[in-house]
Amino acid sequence: MDPRFLRTFVTVARLGSFSAAARELGYTQSAVSQHIGVLEADLGAPLLTRRPVEPTEAGARLLEHAEPILLRLDAARADVAKVAGGPPRSLRIGTTPLACGHAASLVAPALTVTVRVADRVTIAREVATGVLDVGFVDGVAAVNDPLRLPELGLTVAEVWEEPLAVAVPADHPLIARTVPGIARPSSFSRSTDESRRSRPAVRLEDLVDARWIDAPVVCAPLDELAAIARADGFRPALHYDGADVSGLLALVAAGHGLALLPRRVVTHGLALAEPALTHRTELLRLGG
Amino acid sequence: MDPRFLRTFVTVARLGSFSAAARELGYTQSAVSQHIGVLEADLGAPLLTRRPVEPTEAGARLLEHAEPILLRLDAARADVAKVAGGPPRSLRIGTTPLACGHAASLVAPALTVTVRVADRVTIAREVATGVLDVGFVDGVAAVNDPLRLPELGLTVAEVWEEPLAVAVPADHPLIARTVPGIARPSSFSRSTDESRRSRPAVRLEDLVDARWIDAPVVCAPLDELAAIARADGFRPALHYDGADVSGLLALVAAGHGLALLPRRVVTHGLALAEPALTHRTELLRLGG
DNA sequence: CCTTCTTACGGAGTCCGTAAAAATA
DNA sequence: TATTTTTACGGACTCCGTAAGAAGG
């Protein structure tokens, strides 16, 4: 199973065409056909149907392994290159939108610093492959639990955890029902210990049936949230693909749904009863 | 980075010798030398020192990636072979010692069933590579958290969670100090809710400085426990390499140290205050 | 010197492009 | 028939064994 063949296999599967894959990879169609042929002979099973070109069951199984393998091979190369190469000339920082504040905590030395914002998995991948030097990623997790990221041999160099809150519109019925009158803009920043204690916090499982906004780039994807909170059925009322927090908050304010975010960015929100759930930011580095 | 070359690299690193690796892999010394040479040229850095043969810094980084990659390649092959091959003739079950009870829950169909007992990582590896059809592994984790296993594309088909207890000798000072008089053999099985409530449970972090027995094959390794319980310094008083629970309990009874085990196997023990920590057993299968 | 690793060289096999054939819509 | 994939074939390259050459201890 030559990695090159695996690469053409995933490319063919992705593009649904031998010829298109050949074009993308700089091979001839013939070569691609031979790659797939060798792979199928080696594994003893057809991996793709032809016309239309789609993965067979065996091919689907292989696909699920091939991509992590190829990614990890790139990570290995990048990791070796890093220790082999001398001191870095520039610093390339990657960060998810909400982790950007922590990224600023890195004192910038006398280097050219560039910052790139993307989603969690992209950041992890690019740190692993050496495109980025460090990455800041955030998400929702149980206290002291690492974020669930693809295993690429990355190390978590530093960790920050902060409380969560459910962002809600100012006039959301849930506020009226469970915590009357807290929906003031400064509810979190100004509330005293006393007012906070007197206000019952919301349990996540009670909000399962509410309308949620799925904003996987900004914070935890809903399906992941369901796994963490041990509650099925967080169905999205709306899918927000932006990377911008204020845009998400505007949607929440307009009543399109709720969102689970770090308390610091939430103006109208409900405190969480789950103390074991936090917003976690991790600083990722390559190697050990 | 031909996987074959990676394989000879890890073999050379493990054996500390080109010739020994050649013997083990069925190559000539020359071929092994060429493999390493190609790898070093490709990555642009020396990977091994010669005489003595030891990984360089770059080599150490590569090693950390190479083994998971090779394992995953085997897993991919096994996974495809599984869907390609017809219905299985025999069922090979792997299990960790404490998960064996759950393994018995698998109703055995009209197949030849063989059971193999090994440690967690071995079981996971052999399920991934198709040596075993299913695997039962156990360990300590936070409630609803998966066990930390090498990422090999395995699926968790079923899960059991049960309460934990700290196994202690009948006359351990901790019993006298924290929960006087509970060290009766039937303390857990016979205790009523009332007696249980009146008996203060023990927090794991209070036991950090106690003497522990590290029994990584039987239950969670101590270093992992430290990570889960967020407490450093679980230093082992004794390292138990056996796979046998009764042997471990005998050592505990003889006062050689404490052990964290599922409550069902503990006769003299302390209940845990952490409700979020459980003994978890997972049924592992290949593929999705 | 003896062990261990490296280098030189050549045969067998692999990889991939050109070109022609086959297959499917 | 038009498009896409497969097969045939050959050149260049790779892999690995034999054998001779360095390099340590």
> DSSP per residue over B45-83, as a string?
S--EETTTTEE-HHHHHHHHHHHHHHHHHHHHHHHHHHH
**Residue in chain B lying closest to A153 (CA):** B65
**Residue in chain B lying closest to A2 (CA):** B2
pLDDT band at A275 (very low <50, low <70, confident <90, very high): confident
With contact defined as beta carbons under 8 Å apart, do A220 and A196 qualify? no
Segment A177-197 mean pLDDT: 39
Segment A269-282 mean pLDDT: 84
CA A30 to C1' C22, in angstroms, rounded, equals 14
Question: In this prediction, what percent of chain A has a pLDDT beyond 70?
Answer: 87
CA B30 to C1' C7, in angstroms, rounded, equals 9
B18-44 confidence digits (pLDDT tens): 999 999 999 999 999 999 999 999 999
Which of B52, B84, B116 marks a domain boundary?
A: B84
Two structure tokens written together for A105: 């905590």
The structure tokens 């016979």 sit at B190
Q: Is residue B79 domain-shared with residue B175, that is, in the same domain?
A: no
CB within 8 Å: B58 and A80? yes
Would strands A54-55 and A269-271 be described as parallel, antiparallel, or unpaired?
unpaired
Cross-strand pairs, B271: B165
Helix (H) or strand (E) holding B229: helix B222-229
Over 60: is that where the pLDDT of A190 sits? no
Q: Which of B57, B61, B144 to mutate to test the interface with A (most CBs of A within 10 A)?
A: B61
A55-103 confidence digits (pLDDT tens): 999 999 999 999 999 999 999 999 999 988 878 888 899 999 999 888 8
Please report the pLDDT score of residue B8 as a whole number: 98
Chain B residues close to A58, C-beta within 8 Å: 80, 83-84
Two structure tokens written together for B63: 């090693």
Q: Is residue B199 domain-shared with residue B115, that is, in the same domain?
A: no
Cβ-nearest to A84 among B2, B44, B150: B44
Please report the pLDDT score of residue A175 as a whole number: 55
Please report the pLDDT score of residue A228 as a whole number: 76
The structure tokens 């692993």 sit at A128
pLDDT band at A50 (very low <50, low <70, confident <90, very high): very high
Q: How far is B97 from chain A (nearest CA, A)?
A: 27
Cβ-nearest to B72 among A69, A84, A288: A69
Question: In this prediction, what percent of chain A has a pLDDT beyond 90?
Answer: 45
Please report the pLDDT score of residue B191 as a whole number: 40
Cβ-nearest to A2 among B2, B81, B144: B2
Q: Using CA atoms, how far apart are residues B196 and B188, in angstroms rounded to an integer?
A: 9
Q: Is residue B185 domain-shared with residue B169, that is, in the same domain?
A: yes
Strand D nucleotides with an atom less than 7 Å from a protein beta carbon = 4-8, 15-20, 24-25
Helix axes B3-15, B57-84, angle to 10 degrees: 120
Please report the pLDDT score of residue A174 as a whole number: 54
Chain B residues 117-136 with a CB less than 8 Å from chain A: none
Please report the pLDDT score of residue B194 as a whole number: 35
Please report the pLDDT score of residue A161 as a whole number: 93
Which of B84, B102, B136 marks a domain boundary?
A: B84
Sign of the torsion formed by the C-alpha atoms of A145, A150, A152 and A158: negative
With contact defined as beta carbons under 8 Å apart, do B199 and B271 qualify? yes
Q: Is residue A17 domain-shared with residue A29, that is, in the same domain?
A: yes
Taking the CA atoms of chain B, what radius of gyration do you get in angstroms? Answer: 23
SS3 content of chain B, % helix, strand, coil (to 5): 40, 25, 35
Please report the pLDDT score of residue A85 as a whole number: 80
**Residue in chain A lying closest to B6 (CA):** A73
Please report the pLDDT score of residue A102 as a whole number: 85
Phi first, then psi: what are they for B118, rounded to 5°? -160, 180
Q: Is residue B72 domain-shared with residue B170, that is, in the same domain?
A: no
Sign of the torsion formed by the C-alpha atoms of B231, B233, B235 and B240: positive
Chain A residues close to B83, C-beta within 8 Å: 45, 57-58, 61
Q: Using CA atoms, how far apart are residues A257 and B63, in angstroms rounded to an integer?
A: 47
Q: How far is A47 from chain B (nearest CA, A)?
A: 9
Lowest-confidence region among A41-55, A93-107, A120-134, A195-209: A195-209
Segment A258-276 mean pLDDT: 83
Q: How many domains does chain A have?
A: 3
Q: What angle do CA A276, B144, A175 make, to 5 degrees?
A: 45
CA A193 to C1' C8, in angstroms, rounded, equals 81
Q: Is residue A176 domain-shared with residue A265, that is, in the same domain?
A: yes
Segment A100-107 mean pLDDT: 78
Which of B38, B55, B84 marks a domain boundary?
A: B84
Please report the pLDDT score of residue A209 as a whole number: 72
Q: Is residue A103 domain-shared with residue A47, that is, in the same domain?
A: no
Higher pLDDT, A176 or B105: B105
Mean pLDDT of chain A: 84
Chain B residues close to A142, C-beta within 8 Å: 142, 145
The structure tokens 């906004």 sit at A213
Q: CATH number of the domain at B18, please.
A: 1.10.10.10
Over 60: is that where the pLDDT of A194 sits? no
Two structure tokens written together for B40: 């070093």
Over 80: is that where the pLDDT of A21 sits? yes
Please report the pLDDT score of residue B134 as a whole number: 93
Please report the pLDDT score of residue A231 as a whole number: 66
pLDDT band at A110 (very low <50, low <70, confident <90, very high): low
Peptide bond into B52 cis (omega under 30): yes
Cβ-nearest to A72 among B65, B84, B287: B65
Q: Is residue A271 domain-shared with residue A167, that is, in the same domain?
A: yes
**Residue in chain B lying closest to A229 (CA):** B144
Q: Is residue A146 domain-shared with residue A193, that is, in the same domain?
A: no
As averages over each run of 10 residues, the pLDDT of chain B (288 residues) reads 97 97 96 97 95 95 96 95 84 91 73 86 96 94 87 92 87 51 39 39 73 87 78 77 86 86 85 82 90
Q: Is residue B175 domain-shared with residue B150, that is, in the same domain?
A: no
Please report the pLDDT score of residue A144 as a whole number: 81
pLDDT band at A20 (very low <50, low <70, confident <90, very high): very high
CB within 8 Å: B82 and A73? no
Please report the pLDDT score of residue B192 as a whole number: 39
Q: CATH number of the domain at A261, please.
A: 3.40.190.290
Q: Is residue A54 domain-shared with residue A107, that is, in the same domain?
A: no
Phi first, then psi: what are they for B243, rounded to 5°? -105, 5
CB within 8 Å: B79 and A61? yes
- Number of CB pairs, chain A paired with chain B, less than 8 A apart: 110
Most confident of A134-143, A211-220, A248-257, B111-120: A134-143
Please report the pLDDT score of residue A108 as a whole number: 65
**Residue in chain A lying closest to B229 (CA):** A144
Domain coverage including residue B13:
3-84
Q: Is residue A236 domain-shared with residue A269, that is, in the same domain?
A: yes
Q: What are the Cα distances from residue A214, in Å, to A125, A222, A250, A260, B50?
A: 22, 6, 14, 10, 55
Does A86 contact chain B (CB < 8 Å)?
A: no
Q: Give which of B266, B273, B196, B271 is closest to B229, Cα–Cα.
A: B273
Cβ-nearest to B288 among A64, A81, A84: A64
SS3 content of chain A, % helix, strand, coil (to 5): 40, 25, 35
Segment A159-164 mean pLDDT: 92
Q: How far is A171 from chain B (nearest CA, A)?
A: 34
Q: CATH number of the domain at A111, please.
A: 3.40.190.10
